[in-house]
Amino acid sequence: MMKSVTLLAILTLLAVAASASNFVSLGYSDQTVILDSNPYVCDHIYGVTHNHDGFESCYGWWYGGVVPPYYGAWGEGYDLGAGTVLCGVFWVSTLPGMYYGQSTDCYVWEGGVHGPPDAVLGVVTGIVFDHVPLWPTIGLNEVEMNVGVGHEFTVGLWGNWPNARYGYLIAVDLNGPGGYPWTCVAPGIGYPTGWNDPSILWGPTQSTGCGVVFRPTPPQTVPDGDTAPTWGSIKTLFKE
């Protein structure tokens, strides 16, 4: 069964290449297997937060769909309150002959739940993933980031292969509970430029394989009978 799924994926890739498209899909599979990452990069005392319940396909950009600084990026939005993104967690796969150590830039952007991602809050560049198995096996990769956030954010990645063949594809959940999937579309390729739901190109997509290890900021505590100061009360201390 696995050989037939892989062969189907290769035939799909060849069909896409023949049509000179800038985006790729490996089609649907209910036979995916996740290759875990062990030892872990991050302390899993905080767990891994994600929006998927498994994966049924992989998506990707290549050639004109990948343009600096991060057109062709993938992301997933979260609203976990104030805290620190300790690690980005990314599930990826590839086809034979595609991955040879192409590097990845991993990002945290503002927004992504009530609107598209916005300003960059942090980035770690030049990461080379250790776990990029052949489809339908999917590899988990953790990247230490340590980016502070105060509200909703998007965690994601951009593969370093502008105007070239892809190295890997991001795993996607097609029928899970739903999340906030995003992809950044390059200009001039016939689709709305900038951040979009991948469903506009690939069809119904519930979430991407972009998760986080997140440490929440501890709530402020005050002595019994007191109340935590507000910004308004603090400002009065500076009035003449």
- Give pLDDT tens digits for 46-95: 999 999 999 999 999 999 999 999 999 999 999 999 999 999 999 999 99
Domains of the chain as residue ranges with CATH = 12-217 (2.60.120)
3 state SS of 15: helix
Residue at 92: amino acid letter: V
Nearest-angstrom CA–CA distance, 198 and 182: 6
List 183's β-bridge partners, or say none. 74, 196
**Which residue do the tokens 């595609």 mark?**
98
Write out pLDDT tens, residues 140-176: 999 999 999 999 999 999 999 999 999 999 999 999 9
pTM, 2 dp? 0.84
Nearest-angstrom CA–CA distance, 215 and 121: 16
Nearest-angstrom CA–CA distance, 123 and 117: 14
Nearest-angstrom CA–CA distance, 175 and 49: 18
The angle subtended at Cα 78 by Cα 229 and Cα 23, nearest 5°, is 150
